[in-house]
Structure 1
Amino acid sequence: MSTSSITFSRRSFIRTSSLASGGLLIGFNLFTACKPKVQPPVDISKLNFNDFNAFIKIADNGAVTIFSPNPEIGQGVKTAMPMLIAEELDVAWNNVYVQQGILDTENYTRQLAGGSQSIRLGWEPLRQTGATARQMLVNAAAARWGVDPSECSTSEGVITNAKGETLGYGDVVKEAATVEVPEGVTLKAPKDFKIIGTDAKNVDIDKIITGKPLYGLDYKAEGMVYASVLRPPAFGKILESYDDTDAKAMPGVLDVIKIGEKINKLTEEGKGNWTVNMGQSDKVVVIAKSTWEALKAKEAIKAKWVDGTPLESTQMQDKKLLDLLDGKELKTMRKDGDIKKAFAQADKILERTYESPFLPHNCMEPMNFFANITADKIHLVGPVQTPEFAATAVADMLGRDVDQVHLEMTRMGGGFGRRLYGDFVYEVAEIADAIKKPVKLVFSREDDMNAGTYRPAIKYRIKAAVKDGEVTAYQLKEAAVNGNMYGLIPNFFPAGCIENYQVDVANYKSNITTGAWRAPYTNFLAFAEQSFFDELAETMGVDRIQLRLDLLQKAKGSTDERMEYSPERMENVIKTAVEKSGWGKQPDGTYQGFAAYYCHNSHVAEVANVELENGLPVVKKVTCVVDCGIVVNPLGAINQIEGGVIDGVGHAMYGELTFNEGKPQSENYDTYRLIRMREVPKVETHLIQNELAPTGLGEPTLPPAGAAVANALKAATGNRFTQQPFTKFPELMKVPAKPILG
């Protein structure tokens, strides 16, 4: 059992059961409908609903609809977060229906999707809300019976006393509203969970597989027109003039306008800092009766672009990043001991440089958004990971009160960090404000690839000293396009394991827009560090697994509050991965690579199996062990784990976006390489069972995947990879011919 540390005032609890951390808000009147043995309807749209508040609708037969405030990008929070409330409330999960809520900054906090934090931060507040409501209902029932509340129990919306008498939640809800809001409510022990830890299918799955409207691209409104934007052909270009004569003559075209003044001002004022800049150029917009007509007419516009900020190439940025690693502009983020002294006294020194390319986000659903702006309302609808930020920026851009913004979130066909940035929302808002009509902006795939935010190109240089068989110094240098957004990386493994330890970073400012990409920065750093540790073990002549375990021993019991990971939990996933993967026990022809990593509060170890086919290595299987604490929805968790592994393998093997004079060299999937179905390895998942609070899961399995594959490729080919994507270096993928003896 655990005790709640959150208390509720009567007004806040009965009105909304307000939660910290942006979790679900659930109206107290929900309980009037909790009746025993209620059969959920097949089509709840035909029921007579009563609106109790902004978050809950109750049907007269007891069906409950909970509005989920957090954006859903496929990470499963729209299913998992309501499970937490239903667990402690003690209602049947099959009587709960979930719908996407709107942006509501008055009643919710952290109403966003990012950082794999939704379940972690909502774990206690969501459960405490359910438990507090349940206890109030029990207290009311006990008062009616004249017994002590401790003599009562609940199950699926029914309260039972010691005599076996029962009352439904709905029978006592009015009395419950008059009792004191209890403090220090008792939460269920994990052994008593009925919903948490059981498989629950995605609440939207039936609509997804039958093509029902859920996504931004599905949204339609009466009188709606469509917009397609002609943006600069390269980062650093600015619009000088354009001829729209041919475009206006095409079928379905309603108008051609220019935008950019309001967005550019927003950016200059620093209020829209999460925008795609593209040199702050004006843009040309085609307004048409359909998406296709708008897209085709855009191709007919004759625009003249001139140079603004300096144009860049991938080669130029590569050189500048390497120069930064050698230069004096590095900023120290953590420094333990004296690395210079340790390197000077070393028996052996190993130094390697690792290089990663830009990557686009490749969301299956291209960017899109709807806007209708009238004198008294700004109506926005679409897929965005940061709805509050977008709404505030739009209000600032248009000189309106943010209270006038009504933003509805749709399910997203992928986000991966791209939809953290509201450039497409600002564009459609400026368009709607100009044309005074409801309008939907739709990107083409080419728009998505050319006008995106990209994973930044990064270079890492890692150097280690060995003295008397021990690792005595470790230095990590990072040079990143547009800088490192996160300050936690210096406190991940091997921080705390090596006496002399230093992390330095440098920032190369680029006009190419970069931003968060699934598991920001760690998505490549894990490959660099875990590849390095394998090579370091070879240099030292020790077992690669044992090297990691020995280092972790030195971090155990540390009082360093900066250290983010748990040495004990990391050790456990490593040992479990060794056992479950059959490490070192595979038949001839199977080559294995190992990696372990901590990020987004979770510990992961992975083993990749590679086999040779026609003389080339092929990734056949990845064994993945995850410690993410209590798993709320195992079915959803496995989906996230497998997706992260496949994403990590695919981008490490194939993903790369290059630039020439500021222009992306891939515009669609005919030239941009993604992993294909036949290349997807089998993923075997093992979840560490414990009773610790849940941690992140949408991102942590991606970073170690590339490292595990790289280390397996080394075992198969004898060649080390220091750059991604691996297939860019076919000479390293080839297995050296065996010498002819004779």
Structure 2
Amino acid sequence: MKTSNKILFSRRSFLKTSALASGGILIGFNLFNACKENVKMPIDLSQLNYNDFNAFIKISEEGKVTIFATNPEIGQGVKTSMPMLIAEELDVPWDDVYVVQAPLDTENYRNQTAGGSQSLRRNWEPLRQTGATAKQMLVNAAAARWGVDASTCKAKQGFITNANGDTLGYGEVVLEAAQLEVPENVSLKDPQDFTIIGTKTANVDIDKIITGKPLFGLDYKEEGMVYASVIRPPAFGQVLESFDATKAKGMPGVIDVITIGEKARNMLSEAKPNWSVKLSTTDKVVVVGKTTWDAIKGAKAVKTTWKTDSDLESTKEHDEKLLGLLNGKKFRTRRKDGDVEKAFAEADKVVERIYESTFLPHNPMEPMNFFANVTPEKVHLVGPTQTPESAANAVASLLGRPLEDIHVDLTRMGGGFGRRLYNDYVMEAVEIADKIKMPVKMVSTREDDMTTGVYRPACKYKIAASIKDGKLTGYHLKEACVNGNMYGLVPNFFPAGAIANYQVDSVPLRSNITTGAWRAPYTNFLAIAEQSFFDELAEEMEVDRVQLHMDLLDNVKKNPNPKIDYSPERLQGVLQMVVEKSNYGKTTEGVYQGLSVYYCHNTHVAEVADVILDNGMPVIKKVTCAIDCGIVVNPLGALNQAKGGVLDGIGHAMYADFSFKDGVPSANNFSSYQLIRMGQTPEVDVHFAKSDIAPTGLGEPTLPPVGGAVANAIYKATGQRLYKLPFMNNLQSKEVVG
């Protein structure tokens, strides 16, 4: 059924703008077609006569359509999937669509961020309305030319047809259409009529990626640009005392050695800092060179002296303090249903366990980098950031410049996982450019990224549950986390609403170590803890694990006012699906299975891990994954996201070991920090629930459940319950804490 929707986007975005009046781009050859016969040469878009229909769409007289991808592309596929929404409702052949990354434009676009798996969810209707509105205006223009009622005309595949069979291409009427009044309401397609949404669509950048064309921040170059390497404190809690750059200044290719930090200190002291700013207050030494290598070599030649400004912390100290807080009385109660203490006092049995996680670096493939050029006319920024608007606001504050002076162009990101939510590296580039009065790109090394970055906070959970007459009567979750972790959303996740007496508390441990969001924030470890705990509860209660979850979700459906964020029906749906698809409980001898079912980022996921033993050690052979994320816009991209999340979750739960000693990270590169290896990756079998509900997140939701599924499978195989990350450390030492 078609729906008529009130326009949600800014009507200003439908005005012709000179900012989009420049020509197109040259599409490179398709590598996969290069060996085929009679392949047509690619179209040079710069030679087409384009008309700016609106801030999202340009249409040429030949009917070719350029769609601007508004959100940052971090590898989650939005540069492909979001234009698909516009193209679907505009009703043009996808082969006639070209996608261009849009710059930061707060007047015409909204929600130009990449984080929390929210891009498609937030833009589902606005972008479809953009395409539908453009189509209606094209139809109206054609109808006016023919002198007929627009309701008698239809648009399909880039052409408008009237009742007499007359036809006009979009390109023939685009100039007239762009002058028309924007309609207040438009009709959107019924999902059953989709021809682009729901089809496997290749990444729009795939040819450029595999042929090494410039796309990423590290690729960006500009005439007269220099490079900078920043020397930061070697330990969290230290500040710069002195430095000797004599040797560095004498090296070929080194232009200058400077310090930065004053502007950052002034900004942080004068106003409440932008949430995305994670700047240290110490001075930093910067080596400026003609090339990246010149700057990096020069930085290694600088002799620096650092002094301790505050506590130099260690992971052991964090562990002890977190445990103390966990067993203490000072907590912030995030949610309280019923009376947990009374339920525990009246229980036949109380089960209590403690789960522990480590700090984790983000380690995106592309290290932090950013280009900045500060001139009296404007501040030009180019690079990979998940939060360009926050970056622009922070830079305006740093330099004391009006926001309209700050221009941000976005590049594709070589990963981020939450690290590029924080714009410390952008601020460094800007402060360097402002000081040297030259266009500059700040480039970090892998060692810089791993040792002076932003980390997933170390965290401990204490989970307790009361059992009375074979039923769960109380549930108490306590979190103690470095710099805090839990916010208002998690207390409304499962098992909220399923257990009458339910309480969630949290307490932070303040630390010098910079922490922040890491892929699937809040839930990336909580899911492991809770899903491991429910597995143990089922065993204690002597009930089937699947039935325990089904019964608890039935309780939610009976609850007249559950105050929850998840859908019990959709959770039951993915649980039933994964049991069927994985053949759960019915596998061959020697295969041990673990189950996990979880909701986060608006998506419901259930996973089953298959584990075997090889010389007494567990090996993960397969993970079956059932997902309800609403309508799947691009099945190919969705499959890649789902599998990537599962493998990332396995790798960090099993192997990622990271700690601090006297404020210094334990690892500085992949030689000392283990990511999952190719030979350790299992088969991942993904299944999507059929749905006509608007899409929800997918970049993160498959990561949190997999650690619990693996832990539960390892228990079946070895008899060892795992309470501390990474799992392999505890298995190898045979030390199980809890």
TM-score band by shorter chain is over 0.9
With 269-278 and 102-111 compared, the bigger mean Cα shift is at: 269-278
What is the letter of the counterpart of residue 705 of structure 1? Answer: V
Alignment of 1:593 with 2:597, yes or no, is no
Report what 1:234 is aligned to.
Answer: 235
Distance in 1 separating the partners of 2:20 and 2:194: 20
- SS, match of residue 657 in structure 1: coil
Report what 2:273 is aligned to.
Answer: 271
Change (3 A) 1:485 1:381: farther
Report what 2:185 is aligned to.
Answer: 184
Report what 2:36 is aligned to.
Answer: none
> Residues 165-180 of structure 1: matches in 2 within 5 Å?
165-177=166-178
Deviations 1:556-602 (A, max 9, x none): 15443730000000000000000000111111011100000000000
Displacement after TM superposition at 1:105 (Å): 1.5
Alignment of 1:50 with 2:40, yes or no, is no
Report what 2:684 is aligned to.
Answer: 683
Displacement after TM superposition at 1:147 (Å): 4.7
What is the letter of the counterpart of residue 270 of structure 1? Answer: K
> Residues 698-713 of structure 1: matches in 2 within 5 Å?
698-713=699-714
Report what 1:461 is aligned to.
Answer: 462
Report what 2:34 is aligned to.
Answer: none
Change (3 A) 1:182 1:408: closer
Report what 1:137 is aligned to.
Answer: 138
> Residues 266-345 of structure 1: matches in 2 within 5 Å?
266-268=267-269, 269-278=271-280, 280-345=281-346
Change (3 A) 1:244 1:107: same
Change (3 A) 1:535 1:233: same
Q: CA RMSD in A?
A: 2.2
Distance in 2 separating the partners of 1:384 and 1:174: 35
Displacement after TM superposition at 1:281 (Å): 1.1
Displacement after TM superposition at 1:616 (Å): 1.3
Alignment of 1:526 with 2:527, yes or no, is yes
Distance in 1 separating the partners of 2:9 and 2:436: 47
What is the letter of the counterpart of residue 342 of structure 1? Answer: A
> Residues 356-435 of structure 1: matches in 2 within 5 Å?
356-435=357-436
Deviations 1:230-256 (A, max 9, x none): 110100001011111111111211111
What is the letter of the counterpart of residue 335 of structure 1? Answer: K
Report what 2:3 is aligned to.
Answer: 3
With 392-401 and 229-238 compared, the bigger mean Cα shift is at: 392-401
Report what 2:15 is aligned to.
Answer: 15
Report what 2:572 is aligned to.
Answer: 571
Change (3 A) 1:183 1:618: same
With 458-467 and 152-161 compared, the bigger mean Cα shift is at: 152-161
Displacement after TM superposition at 1:41 (Å): 6.0
Distance in 2 separating the partners of 1:281 and 1:272: 18
Change (3 A) 1:173 1:499: same
Deviations 1:367-421 (A, max 9, x none): 0001111111111111011111111111111111111111111000001000000
CA contact (8 A) 1:6 1:125 kept: no
CA contact (8 A) 1:717 1:734 kept: no
Change (3 A) 1:572 1:294: same
- SS, match of residue 379 in structure 1: strand
Displacement after TM superposition at 1:353 (Å): 0.3
Deviations 1:47-83 (A, max 9, x none): 2453626654444533222221210000011000110
Distance in 1 separating the partners of 2:400 and 2:704: 42
CA contact (8 A) 2:370 2:429 kept: yes
Q: TM-score, normalised by structure 1?
A: 0.93
Displacement after TM superposition at 1:484 (Å): 2.2
Distance in 2 separating the partners of 1:402 and 1:394: 8
Displacement after TM superposition at 1:108 (Å): 1.5
Aligned length: 718
Displacement after TM superposition at 1:733 (Å): 6.6
Report what 1:505 is aligned to.
Answer: 506
Change (3 A) 1:41 1:629: farther
Alignment of 1:114 with 2:115, yes or no, is yes
Distance in 2 separating the partners of 1:164 and 1:607: 56
What is the letter of the counterpart of residue 504 of structure 2? Answer: V
Distance in 2 separating the partners of 1:582 and 1:438: 59
- SS, match of residue 185 in structure 1: strand
Q: Percent identical across equivalent pairs?
A: 62
Distance in 1 separating the partners of 2:676 and 2:73: 24
What is the letter of the counterpart of residue 498 of structure 1? Answer: I
Distance in 1 separating the partners of 2:275 and 2:112: 19
Distance in 2 separating the partners of 1:9 and 1:359: 38
- SS, match of residue 185 in structure 2: coil
- SS, match of residue 214 in structure 2: coil
Gaps of 5+ in 2: 25-38
> Residues 581-620 of structure 1: matches in 2 within 5 Å?
581-620=582-621
What is the letter of the counterpart of residue 246 of structure 1? Answer: K
CA contact (8 A) 2:465 2:472 kept: yes
Report what 1:126 is aligned to.
Answer: 127
What is the letter of the counterpart of residue 394 of structure 1? Answer: V
Distance in 2 separating the partners of 1:602 and 1:446: 35
Distance in 2 separating the partners of 1:104 and 1:200: 27
Deviations 1:254-289 (A, max 9, x none): 1111111111222233224433344x2111010111
Report what 2:516 is aligned to.
Answer: 515
Report what 2:31 is aligned to.
Answer: none
Change (3 A) 1:228 1:14: closer
Deviations 1:595-652 (A, max 9, x none): 0000000000000001112221100110000000001100000010000000000000
What is the letter of the counterpart of residue 276 of structure 1? Answer: K
Distance in 2 separating the partners of 1:59 and 1:127: 21
Distance in 2 separating the partners of 1:659 and 1:8: 48
Distance in 1 separating the partners of 2:409 and 2:366: 17
What is the letter of the counterpart of residue 374 of structure 1? Answer: T
Report what 1:629 is aligned to.
Answer: 630
Report what 1:354 is aligned to.
Answer: 355
CA contact (8 A) 1:3 1:184 kept: no
CA contact (8 A) 2:59 2:170 kept: no
Distance in 1 separating the partners of 2:297 and 2:145: 70
CA contact (8 A) 1:266 1:272 kept: no
Distance in 1 separating the partners of 2:387 and 2:179: 38
Q: TM-score, normalised by structure 2?
A: 0.94
Distance in 2 separating the partners of 1:536 and 1:431: 56
Displacement after TM superposition at 1:168 (Å): 1.9
Report what 1:674 is aligned to.
Answer: 675
What is the letter of the counterpart of residue 274 of structure 1? Answer: S
Displacement after TM superposition at 1:489 (Å): 0.4
Distance in 2 separating the partners of 1:145 and 1:276: 59
Displacement after TM superposition at 1:165 (Å): 2.8
Change (3 A) 1:437 1:621: same
Change (3 A) 1:572 1:99: same
Distance in 1 separating the partners of 2:336 and 2:547: 26
CA contact (8 A) 1:617 1:733 kept: no
CA contact (8 A) 1:47 1:60 kept: no
What is the letter of the counterpart of residue 481 of structure 1? Answer: V
Distance in 2 separating the partners of 1:601 and 1:407: 30
Alignment of 1:717 with 2:718, yes or no, is yes
With 553-562 and 435-444 compared, the bigger mean Cα shift is at: 553-562
Displacement after TM superposition at 1:104 (Å): 1.2
Displacement after TM superposition at 1:107 (Å): 1.5
Report what 1:245 is aligned to.
Answer: 246
Alignment of 1:219 with 2:227, yes or no, is no
Report what 1:729 is aligned to.
Answer: 730
Report what 1:35 is aligned to.
Answer: none
Distance in 1 separating the partners of 2:650 and 2:293: 35
With 397-406 and 659-668 compared, the bigger mean Cα shift is at: 397-406
Report what 1:22 is aligned to.
Answer: none
Change (3 A) 1:56 1:185: closer
CA contact (8 A) 2:229 2:444 kept: yes
Report what 2:194 is aligned to.
Answer: 193
Distance in 2 separating the partners of 1:355 and 1:9: 44
- SS, match of residue 74 in structure 1: coil
What is the letter of the counterpart of residue 720 of structure 1? Answer: R
